[in-house]
Amino acid sequence: MAVKIENYFKDAAFEYEQIENDIRSKMPQGLSDEILAFVQVKTNEAMQNIWNIFQSRNNQLQQAQDSIPEEYTSQDVQAYYQSFFRITNPSYIAADIKRVLAFKELEQDYYDFINTMANGEYGELFHRYQYPSSFFDGMRRGITLDIQKLAESLKEYTDSIGQHAIVVDSVKSDQAGKSLIKGGASLLGLMIGVPFAGAGVGALMGDNSEERINKSIQKVFKSWDLFNARIHTFINELEIQYKFAMIAIYGSTLLQVHHQFKNLNVQFDELQLMKPAYSLTLTNTEKEKTREWIVKTTNGIQNLLKLKKYRQAIQVAAKFFTIVKNNPVMARTVINDQQSSMFIAHLFYYTAYQEALLEEYRNGHLDSFYQTSNYLFQEMFILIGEQDMQKIGFSSPSKLIIRMIKESVRRNQIGDLVIFHDHMGRVIDRIEKQHFYEGENTSNNLTKDMRGLYAARLFLMDHLHPSVKQENPLSKRDWKALIINDKELNQPDAFTTFLKKKYWLAAVWPWGNAPFTWIGAHKKALSGVVISIGLLTGAYFNSEEIYQFAKDKIGFGQEQTQASTDETTNKESISYHITTEFANVRSAPGLSSNVLFVATMEDSLKFLDQQSIDEENRVWYKVENQHGEIGWISSNIVAERNS
């Protein structure tokens, strides 16, 4: 015969401890701490609601007592008695108890929790734990298992009121010659106010009547104090019962889902139950298997490249890259040397192509080199730096980038270098959406590690606007390294001249401009902390002209919208400036929309009197810059400009 759910509440503290030990022993500490903290929060919220209901009555009694003047009359006492019996009316108390202990929200809150969690990866597993209404009915009965003790205490208080009513009736009947009230004490207790509806108590007194009523009212007060104490005891006991219910409902479910996930070779990596949300990682066993597979695969790619079997290396790297990309949990999991699977796969995918492309360039297959290089940077969504390539023993990324630049010069297609801005745009969009992969460079100064990309950006700017003064974020040493890479090709051209000019400028003004920074060192997945990518774009995205050029050349972004309506024209103009060094202005209110142009701190953005809220509750403003370009910018990174 099945045990009734409510029977588990007979020793709720013991049962709670059993489940708590189960959770702590079978889940990592960070996860178990989050579950137990969530259970405590749910319990605190429910108990606070109950305390508020009962405390409200005590507050009303205190106010009634405070209203009695120091020199009071019998009428003041009578007014207090009437307030007291009105506030402590047992029928009102019974209604409050019934309402507050119904716990109607118990079932719906859980279903909302399950349905939200089911939106996560492999979240359909949560739907297996949709419990029937009878389960929650049993939980409610278990939580209120001690309600009888409270009911008995309330009955005792009701009886005391009834007894007092009989005393008052007796006094009245002695003077009026007949009894005014019929019925038992408990019944009378539910008729509060009737005995006191007439004259004041003083008018009823005779002989020992005042003493009799005073003794009787003191018994009522004492009975109320006992009931009030019983309420406090009951709520303290109720807290234990409710806390057990929460861990039984939520803790046990999460523990079961944790086991189910492990059958799929994944497990909870982080829980944020107040949202609620979660992230997954590979199990330790699967992580070790994946590590072995990745080491074997990357070693194979490296050996193929050393043997100059580039086609086979690309085939293996592409398959490796595809497998990881199609498995998001694997992609995020940190495998080796604080590097995620996705970063490793991306690194070796790029390396295989880079080494093959450098060989193509050496062999004079320039059409193939140029087309495939452009394809590669269209595919990439992670930055690969100098140090990344040094660690695995292959060529500097600057070598490939410099050859792409020089080929664009030879073809008189320098504008094609906008491909690097497009590459950076994908990186920015991804990180703005909190999709960060361990292994990506989070150092405060990326200029040395990304000097090839810097050079491409600055060269494109110099080509488009040779008269415009540029920042010079690279050091003399960085420019010297680029010059050496260029000199190896023995093909002097416009880029060679540009490098020398920048080198000497860096020598004259070694401090240059402050290099951009990426303050992503304090990253946290699903935590609400967004990696600050606004500064990442520093030397890449501080020019609207590049984006205008990109739009003209490859249809980058969307068409500009028309000017604001006559109604907004008549309003007082509001202008904003951005609060970060650089900021994306987008084609629509949302991080998934295209970047139309990039604003700097010097830009004045005119507010076009339109706002919108995206699905993540982020507020966006429609703005226009001084060049007439219109787009949407997040309100989180702007402030009103003082006129």
Q: What is the pLDDT of residues 486-509, one digit of tens each?
A: 999 999 999 999 999 998 887 765
Q: In the block, which residue shows the tokens 């409610």?
A: 140
Per-residue pLDDT tens digits for 537-575: 333 333 343 334 333 433 333 333 333 334 333 445 688
Determine the pLDDT at residue 573: 66
Residues 234 and 382 in one domain: no
Name, of 54-68, 210-224, 567-581, the range with top average pLDDT.
Answer: 54-68
Domain termination site, one of 482, 510, 538: 510
Q: pLDDT at residue 169 above 80?
A: no
Domain termination site, one of 213, 242, 258: 258
Residues 6+ apart with CB under 8 A from 261: 122, 125, 267, 268, 280
Q: pLDDT at residue 368 above 50?
A: yes
Q: In the block, which residue shows the tokens 């995206």?
A: 614
Whether residue 563 is contained in a domain is answered as: no
Residues 371 and 500 in one domain: yes
Q: pLDDT at residue 98 above 70?
A: yes
Per-residue pLDDT tens digits for 426-474: 887 887 776 789 988 755 456 667 889 889 988 988 888 776 666 677 8
Whether residue 634 is contained in a domain is answered as: yes
Q: pLDDT at residue 522 above 50?
A: no
**Closest listed residue to residue 287, CA positions, set 333, 345, 342, 328:** 333
Residues 472 and 585 in one domain: no
Q: In the block, which residue shows the tokens 């504008």?
A: 415
Whether residue 530 is contained in a domain is answered as: no
Residues 504 and 609 in one domain: no
Give the domain extent around 172.
39-119+135-179+186-258
Name, of 77-81, 167-171, 179-183, 236-240, the range with top average pLDDT.
Answer: 236-240
Residues 383 and 238 in one domain: no
| Separation CA 160–CA 24 (nearest Å) | 50
Q: pLDDT at residue 267 above 50?
A: yes
> Per-residue confidence at 2, pLDDT binned at 50, 70, 90?
low
pLDDT, average across residues 389-411? 95
CATH of the domain at 611: 2.30.30.40
> Per-residue confidence at 619, pLDDT binned at 50, 70, 90?
confident
Across the strands, what pairs with 174?
Answer: none
User: How many domains, the chain?
Assistant: 3
pLDDT, average across residues 122-144? 94
Q: In the block, which residue shows the tokens 């489940």?
A: 19
Task: Give the number of other Cβ atoms within 10 Å of residue 429's Cβ.
Answer: 19
**Closest listed residue to residue 533, CA positions, set 633, 442, 402, 437:** 442
Contact 221, 163 (CB under 8 A): no
Determine the pLDDT at residue 512: 45
> Per-residue confidence at 178, pLDDT binned at 50, 70, 90?
very low
**Distance linking the first and last C-alpha atoms of the chain:** 79
Domain termination site, one of 510, 527, 553: 510
Whether residue 25 is contained in a domain is answered as: no
User: Torsion over CA of 56, 57, 60 and 61, rounded to 10 degrees?
Assistant: -140
Determine the pLDDT at residue 398: 93
Determine the pLDDT at residue 197: 30
Q: pLDDT at residue 536 above 60?
A: no
More confident residue, 172 or 367: 367
φ, ψ of residue 267 to 5 degrees: the values are -155, 165
Contact 532, 423 (CB under 8 A): no
Residues 114 and 240 in one domain: yes
| Separation CA 621–CA 631 (nearest Å) | 8
Average pLDDT, the chain: 81
Whether residue 61 is contained in a domain is answered as: yes
**Closest listed residue to residue 578, CA positions, set 624, 631, 618, 634:** 634
Contact 464, 491 (CB under 8 A): no
Determine the pLDDT at residue 320: 97
Residues 347 and 483 in one domain: yes
Q: pLDDT at residue 187 above 80?
A: no
> Per-residue confidence at 206, pLDDT binned at 50, 70, 90?
very low
Residues 221 and 312 in one domain: no
Whether residue 71 is contained in a domain is answered as: yes
SS3 category, 396 = coil
Residues 311 and 249 in one domain: no
The DSSP-derived string for 261-322 is HHHTTEEEEEEETTTTEEEEEE-HHHHHHHHHHHHHHHHHHHHHHHTT-HHHHHHHHHHHHH
Determine the pLDDT at residue 310: 96
**Closest listed residue to residue 32, CA positions, set 23, 43, 41:** 23
Whether residue 32 is contained in a domain is answered as: no
Residues 98 and 191 in one domain: yes
- In 127-277, which residue ranges form alpha helices assigned H by DSSP? 133-143, 147-176, 185-189, 201-204, 209-246, 252-263
pLDDT, average across residues 357-378? 95
Residues 317 and 433 in one domain: yes
φ, ψ of residue 547 to 5 degrees: the values are -70, -35
Residues 217 and 314 in one domain: no
Q: Hey, what are 176's tokens? A: 């009026």
Determine the pLDDT at residue 301: 97
Q: pLDDT at residue 42 above 70?
A: yes
| Separation CA 483–CA 498 (nearest Å) | 10
Whether residue 402 is contained in a domain is answered as: yes
Determine the pLDDT at residue 511: 45
